[in-house]
Structure 1
Amino acid sequence: MNDEDLKEIGITEKGPRKIILTFISKSCSSKHGIEFKEKTLSNNQTQQLKIRHVLSMEPKFHKILLKKLDSGLIPETNELLFMNRILTKHYFERQIMQDRRYPSWQQKRDLAMQIVEEFSQLENTRVRQESPKESFFFWRHGGKDHGCHSGIIETRVGNMRKDVLPENRLFHRAISAKIIVPEGCVEAAALLAVVSATAQNVKQISDGMAECAQLHRWILNQKSENKTGEILRAFPHFLNYDGLLIQQAYERMHVGYNKNADLKSFLSLALVFEDNSWLNVKDFNLRGVLILMKKLGSRGIKRVVNTNE
């Protein structure tokens, strides 16, 4: 289309014809001149040009590319997310979906750096004033010494990993078996809880807790802030018989455990609880046992403060 063509369709004023022809010239140059430019630019410039080239291949993004990014403006957040989806799909989709390789943090940071180098105004999207210029797109450990990365590239790559079929995933989560509490188990545990913890009743209580083991496992599997309290409300006899029932419950859940395991490291941890008890006992292991027995012996005992004293 040239000046005469515009006159024929009714655009008689020179100003509007000049604006339209300028826009057509820029659009054609950006779409058809990329291959020629890539051959003449340096390696660094070519790498930068690829970002814009990838975006220009998405027709729905042309308006944002020409009117905002090329004009030095910062797109809206949803437009930046759209740009991020285009770029992460181009650079990482095949790597994740077909090659079964997840992008390293260096690759994600490099992509973020290329974006802000291609469109320098996007440096102003940084999370905070002191943050790196690419932090909106990718920030290693979120600016901390360790922990999760942050940025829209990290978020999008995480969502792409979720789309991988379970059998093709690089890492597999262990599937926990569903625990079903038998009918009447809760009622049986409630009846057992009121049985007196005497020497004559030890076998009855021990056998009853073995029958209610699924209820114990079910409580352990729940996400609760006071899981210990819930277990003791259902099975208060765990506090009786000097830990015998705790040992039996452990053996039910860990069949074939190593009974000859070295307990020295475990017992030495008890010394962390108190550092001024039984100082006359020189053996560290024996001191650890005594401290643990003291701590376990005080569990579940309700203390009443006499305000008259």
Structure 2
Amino acid sequence: MDELKQTLDQESFGILVDNKFTDVSLKFLDAEKLSAMGIVAIGPRLIVLKVVDKLNKWNDPMSEDMQSSACKSIPEKKEVREILECNKKFRSILYEKLDAQIIPTDTEIKLMIRILCATMVERLMHDSIYPTTEEKKMLAIKILLQFPFLCATRRSTGAPEYSLFFWKNGGQGPKHEHTGLIHTQLRNSCKNLLPEQRKFTHSKTVVKHVGVCTEIIELAEMCAKFGATSANYSTISKMMSDVHDLHMMLLNEKNDMAKILLVLPHLTSYNGRMIHMAYERIHGTSFNQKVDLRKVFAKGLMHNQHAFKEVSDDYIRGCLRIMIKLTRKGIKQKETMEPNIGIETELAAPLIRWISDSQSIQDYNAPVSHIFCQSENFFVYLSPCVIIPCGKESINAIDTFFRSFAVFNLRIPVNLLKIADFLDVFAYKIKSYSNRSTVQNLCSLFIESENAEKLL
């Protein structure tokens, strides 16, 4: 369907989509069915039938095209099962789960991919023959033909049914890397090749210095002199927008937070509002202007419902439950058991900490970034010298915290990588998918819930 999406006119492609055609079912399409659906123009019909013919050649074991050495590494539909059945480690998974139409765990699916890609990897390592895009795609289709129920693993709504296994350009068009477990397995295998054996090499990244005019630098200096008062809010907001190129230059040159704030001190002003606007300028049109973290974390309350009961703020509690679901950490306890506050405090610490009223904020120090709460007021802690007051709104604190990493070139703490990735995909939508299966699975679950709500 990817090829048709790029070559077919919008109306004809829309008819195929409306009739629920996929790469798996497309091969059964013929001229008669095209007419019945209303695709009667000669041009679109020729394009569709050519793609169908290509798919059928790949699926026909007697096709001459399939006899080439490049294609011998792709197992036929019946061979997919035979290969898996011959592997002792996978045999029980095949019988107990796949044959029972139960989706295996992430680890088990990755094992299946390693087994099915073994011939491709061997050809790559010994003969330096790289599998083609079409080969990887067709292996993904073969897996789905053998186990059709695995279409439920698709990456996201609108993605190909086989997208967990292979997705050309990740659905983002040319110049983007392919995604999926098959591509990842083969890409990782390339790391074992000697430099002279590699077909593709990555050149070192050269930091480009984006020049800014003197007027912008002078404007930034003028902006820094204004006090962060309510009366100056509009003026400072406008100036910060006008010096965006200077901010981007500082980011591209890999300047640290201290240097960025030396030039643009108002990024920490107005309870995080300047960070919000800077983040939106950085990501431009890719940012989801309709983002509502309240709804996101309200959905989070449905998961791990016995965790963090002592956290009074609903949004913080929902965010924490999403975090531990993604990291697969939690506390095993029965409903009647009292919550283990000590362990829960430790689990929450990467995101938020609570400090006593007697603690001096000026003297507060910690090794990693996080949010802290004191007397119902929230603060974003980025360093001992950069603590951003966010008022009494927990949503504002969480939003400011996760946007700060992009605004200041900060490394995301390891324990927050998955929830940051989740927010990038589902909430902010600056990414269309996640390479982390646990994150992508949760995103798909939330999207399904969101779509169901729209039907109400």
TM-score (norm 2): 0.29
Point out the structure with max Rg over C-alpha.
1
Greater RCO (Cα-Cα under 8 Å, separation 6 or more): 2
The structure in which a higher percent of residues are strand is 2
TM-score (norm 1): 0.42
